[in-house]
Structure 1
Amino acid sequence: MRIEKIDLKNVGPFAEETIEFQPVPNTEKKAEVHVFTGPNGSGKSTLLYALAAAFTPDSQIGDMLKRFHDIKDSFIKVNCNGDTYSLLGTNFQSDRDGIQHVGHLGFGLYKSLVLAASQSKDISPSLDYACFAYSGNRNISHTKVETIKEINTNPLHESLVFNKTIKNQVNQWLANMIAKEAIANQNNKTEAAKGYRQNIASLENVISELMKEDVRFELETEPADIVLRKNGTALDFDVLPDGLKSIISWLGDLLMRLDRLPWENNTPILQRNILLFLDEIEIHLHPKWQMKILPIMQKLLPNAQIFISTHSPFVVNSVDGAWIYKLVLDEHGVSTCKPPVLSETGKSYSYILDEIFDVEERFGLETEQQLDDFYKMRDDIFAGKTIDKKEFTTLVNKLLKEGIEVQQIIGHELRQIKRITQKEFSYDEN
């Protein structure tokens, strides 16, 4: 399964927009990544929710329908593998209790499976792809676990709910994997033990790569509890940094679901075809982790198609060959999408801030204002106008105390002034 295009009319900040998702020209085996950027209110999350709605049961898309301007003249159309999935406002009606579904949309078997997931733990038939949605706002905490307790919830249940706070399923799944690995080793079932270990190791490896430290999940027995061991210290989930808790929450949830789904063949779960919708997963992450998380996901899930929204230049500039979609708002608050560009890690963060995020400022607001004042006075000098020399000298002295970058800028400008005007302005070199 691959998403090829989305059309929106009168949805969120979009009047009428079509976005095509071209394959990534990538010779390496890495996930195909599409990144949505833009100011607040430009529709990044709307796009993610609209794409996910194509695979979400009709009865569970109320939040998406609230973004429809006119129930009679709004729609979303998503093209996948040559088929079109249409979310038409005319299939719904509005009353005082909100927008209610009155017609069958026929979005396919997958939507039916997700709907059935709320009522049954079994999935039939086996899957050849799956879809998942996550937000960086997710969290995980300490909770009681049992040594082995099978999880009865259907692995597709709430799999497309971005902001759903999980309870104890990831904790219990980790406890199950650790306990089953120990039992398999005890019974000399080496291959089974390797399978259980691989499931846990996938999550441990991601965390280790982010932190540049070896970490391991362990099951303590008195009482039964899952901890993260780092540098010989066992850490309860409640004391972990928020960024780490967020990653364990959504990535652990994803790995747990992939492990528990019935697949149509024996392809390793990390090699599966999945669609992944990620809404600002960089929340709570240090810039160093923001730079790493997307490349790690690209390698971890090489056959995935990943759609991600972000406000972070570190995320945008972290991978080569991802399509970047810049959303812009006009004076009426209507959003449009600029033609996508391929990301290149060779570009500087200053370039990304300027070209992708429209942030031209390099320094803090006060320093930027002082620089603006300096440039205005410089231009007056070049134009032969009279300036307040004392004010100019005071301003220069302030800027020269702002750090080496500002010092270099001001020093260059003062040399230019002297060369062009043959005048030299004194300033405090200390």
Structure 2
Amino acid sequence: MKVKRVILNNIGPFEHLKIPVAPTEQNPTNITIFVGNNGTGKTSILRALATSLSWFLARLRAEKGSGNPIPEDAIFNAANACAIQIDVYDAHQPSTYLQLNGIGDSFEWILAKARQGRTSEYTSHLNDCTRLANYYRNAITHDDQTSLPLIAFYPVERSVLDIPLKIKTKHTFLQLDGYDNSLVQGIDFRRFFEWFREREDTENESGISEDLMSQLKQLAEINQDVWQQLKQLQASAKDRQLTAVRTAISRFMPQMDNLRVRRKPRLHMAIDKNGKTLNVAQLSQGEKSLMALVGDIARRLAMLNPSLDNPLTGHGIVLIDEVDLHLHPSWQRSLCERLTETFPNCQFILTTHSPLVISDYKYVLVYILTNGELQELPSQYGQDANTVLLDVMDTSIRNQKIDIWLNDLLDAIQASNLSQAQQLLTELIVELPTNQNHLELVKAKLLLRKQELRHANH
């Protein structure tokens, strides 16, 4: 299941906006990214998609289920009403079944909202949404191993909670529970921890616990043949869903390995970082944020795809606002590539403020938002971050005051106004840190020296 297009009428800052979503004929990628200044509507697009998709999830759970309404404060300026139209296609399911039931693989539905006391020129049409949801409900009714598409939204307010020591409320972890809070809350680390602990308990019952394996390995008298048999038994008992989560995290964070629950000296989650065991609570905010995001996507895919040998190959639509949030620049660079490598059949719709996210991976569809208008950007692959900052994000590559100062200095040198150039250079040297090897300042000194020598020879 993938979004083909979304049309926004009087939503947020947009009066009328049509947005083709990747993959398109011209751009076969699974990643669409929106960039733009704050207030240009990036989040409005993601929230509109999440709102529309919530009706599919609601009708998947119950035939007449209701999703989230469009909030009145999302209506454009003084408009009386608004509407979100979403076009999706679902070619993952057997097309013969879809055609025999007159469904096809393309679906379109409209969600409308009028201001209180106003009439609307828009009307909600949710028949296709219901038909698609009915197909999946019928499919899992006849086969409870049927794969379901992941639908998830991670807002900018997503938080990484400390891991709870006690679980007060017991939750179920059935297939449809993979959708719990997937469009309203983002990352629920409490639910993640409870799910992980339950799966690991089952895993340990059918195999050998990590702690016991460590103890056995330390026994010098153990026979190597017996040790190999023990390792094979341990590998065969690994829980497929937990393996998917651990694999996803290690692909994004190669220095991290072996996520697990520890019960001594107190209940906590542990992970090996560069071979050293740490409490997950000891990780940096960026490490916890990335681990929680990737782990949550993997967990939901594992729950929704019970029959897949590798749940990470499940299909779905994932919306992430400010995907670069809390991430080190080196992680921002590799983010898109690792998303597609780890979750190859998921469609990602992202927003970012980072030039590294859009310039370090070739296969992305990038849109820039300006004054309620949308423009597709040419590929930024291979561009340096400074060029992207200047050309795409309209942001100076350095402090504006220093930038003007340097430009005035270069202009004075070019105009052979040597006394003014020397004065500006002296002022800049005083202004900038003495331990800073400022490349532009070094260039200016060389240019000024050449001009001084040229004038001295004349």
Q: So what's the TM-score if we normalise by structure 1? A: 0.77
Partner Cα distance (1:12, 1:416) in 2: 56
**Counterparts of 2:245 and 2:88, CA distance in 1:** 32
- Corresponding residue number in structure 2 for 1:331: none
**Residue from 220, 240, 252 that aligns with 1:195:** 240
Distance 1:178 1:9, change over 3 A: same
**Corresponding residue number in structure 2 for 1:302:** 344
Alpha-carbon contact 2:314-2:346 (below 8 Å) kept: yes
Deviation at 1:418, TM superposition (A): 5.1
1:357 aligns with 2:411: no
Q: Which residue is 1:226 aligned to?
A: 269
SS at match of 2:376: coil
In structure 2, what residue type is equivalent to 1:16? H
Letter in 1 for 2:316: I
Other structure's SS at 1:280 match: coil
Relative distance call for 1:197 and 1:155 in structure 2 (3 A) is closer
* 1:229 match: secondary structure: strand
CA distance in 1, matches of 2:115, 2:338: 43
Letter in 2 for 1:159: S
Provide the rounded CA distance (Å) in 2 between the counterparts of 1:26 and 1:234.
46
Distance in 2 (alpha carbons) for counterparts of 1:2 and 1:271: 14
Say which SS state the counterpart of residue 43 (structure 2) adopts: helix
Alignment partner, residue 212 of structure 2: none
- Report how far residue 257 of structure 1 moved: 1.6
Structure 2 match to 1:169: 191
Between the aligned partners of 1:324 and 1:74, the Cα distance in structure 2 is 26
Contact 1:323 1:343 in 2 (8 A): no
Q: Which of 135, 157, 162 is residue 141 of structure 1 equivalent to?
A: 162
- Could you tell me which residue of structure 1 aligns to residue 439 of structure 2? 405
- Where 1:54 maps in the other structure, the secondary structure is helix
SS in 1 for 2:287: helix
Which residue in 2 is equivalent to 1:119? none
- Report the aligned-residue RMSD: 3.8
* Cα deviations by residue, 1:187-225 (Å, 9 ceiling, x for unpaired): 95864526255234224413532xxx2432222234443
- Contact 1:53-1:64 within 8 A present in 2 as well: no
Asked if structure 2 preserves the Cα contact closer than 8 Å seen for 1:374 and 1:396, the reply is no
Q: Which residue of 2 aligns with 1:16?
A: 16
On the 8 A contact 1:220/1:227 being kept in 2, the answer is yes
2:46 counterpart SS class? helix
> Do residues 76 (structure 1) and 84 (structure 2) align?
yes
- Please give the secondary structure, in 1, of the residue aligned with 2:172: coil
* Matching of residues 149-164 of structure 1 within 5 Å: 151-152=172-173, 154-161=177-184, 163-164=185-186
Between the aligned partners of 1:302 and 1:389, the Cα distance in structure 2 is: 56
For the structure 1 residues 157 and 183, does the alpha-carbon distance in structure 2 shift closer, same or farther, using more than 3 Å as the test? Answer: same
Distance 2:429 2:324 in 1: 39
Distance (whole Å) between structure 2 residues aligned to residue 351 and residue 229 of structure 1 = 38
Determine the structure 2 residue equivalent to 1:120: none
Paired residue for 2:74?
Answer: 67
Q: What letter matches 1:140 in structure 2?
A: L
CA contact (8 A) 1:140 1:249 kept: no
- Cα 1:151–1:233 change in 2 (3 A) is farther
> Structure 1 CA distance, aligned partners of 2:192 and 2:26?
33
Partner of 2:223: none
Q: CA deviation at 1:387?
A: 6.5
Q: Aligned to 2:238, what secondary structure does the other structure show? A: helix
Task: Note the C-alpha offset of 1:274.
Answer: 0.9
Please, which moves more after superposition, 387-396 or 235-244? 387-396
Aligned-partner Cα distance in 1 for 2:125–2:153: 23
Instruction: Indicate the residue corresponding to 2:412 in structure 1.
Output: 377
**Alignment partners' CA distance in 1, 2:303 and 2:47:** 25
Q: Which string of whole-angstrom CA distances, capped at 9 and with x for unpartnered residues, describes residues 372-430 of structure 1?
A: 33245346x35xx89757634534655896524123431454267458xx4369xxxxx
- The amino acid of 1:368's aligned partner reads D
User: What SS does structure 1 have at the residue aligned with 2:160?
Assistant: coil
The structure-2 alpha-carbon separation of the partners of 1:42 and 1:412, relative to structure 1 and needing over 3 Å to count, comes to farther
SS in 1 for 2:116: strand
> By how many angstroms is 1:127 displaced?
4.1
Residues 62 and 403 (structure 1 numbering): CA distance in 2 closer, same or farther, change over 3 Å? farther
Please point out which of 310, 315, 324 is paired with 1:282.
324
Task: Give the C-alpha shift of residue 275 in structure 1.
Answer: 0.8
Counterpart CA distance in 2 for 1:135 and 1:216 is 28
Q: Which residue number in structure 2 is paired with residue 250 of structure 1?
A: 293
- Determine what percentage of the aligned residue pairs are the same residue: 19
Identify if the C-alpha distance between structure 1 residues 415 and 11 changes in structure 2 by more than 3 Å, giving closer, same or farther: farther
Q: Kindly provide the CA deviation profile for residues 98-145 of structure 1, in whole angstroms up to 9, marking residues without a partner as x.
A: x9xx977446149969xx9xxxxxx97944422111135321312135
In the TM superposition, what are the counterparts of 1:25-40 in structure 2 within 5 Å?
32-40=30-38
- What amino acid sits opposite 1:365 in the alignment? Q
Question: 2-side partners of 1:267 and 1:68: how far apart?
Answer: 44
1:423 aligns with 2:455: yes
Distance 1:387 1:201 in 2: 64
Distance in 1 separating the partners of 2:204 and 2:29 = 33
- Further displaced range: 199-208 or 308-317: 199-208
Larger mean Cα displacement after TM superposition, 309-318 or 362-371: 362-371
Q: 1:62 to 1:415 in 2, by over 3 A?
A: farther
For structure 1, the residue ranges without an aligned partner over 5 or more in a row are: 117-122, 329-333, 426-430
Greater helix share, structure number: 2
Gapped runs of 5+ residues in structure 2? 59-65, 90-105, 138-142, 209-229
Distance 2:187 2:253 in 1: 24
| Alpha-carbon distance between aligned partners in 1 of 2:305 and 2:241, rounded to the nearest angstrom | 16
- Once the two structures are superposed, residues 7-30 of structure 1 have per-residue CA deviations (whole angstroms, 9 ceiling, x without a partner) of 212211112221222526899xx9
SS of 1:56 mapped into structure 2: helix
Cα distance change on mapping 1:203 and 1:283 into 2, 3 Å: same
TM-score normalised per structure 2: 0.73
Q: Aligned pairs, how many?
A: 391
**1:47 counterpart SS class:** helix
For 1:86-101, what aligned pairs fall within 5 Å after superposition? 86-89=110-113, 92=114, 94=116
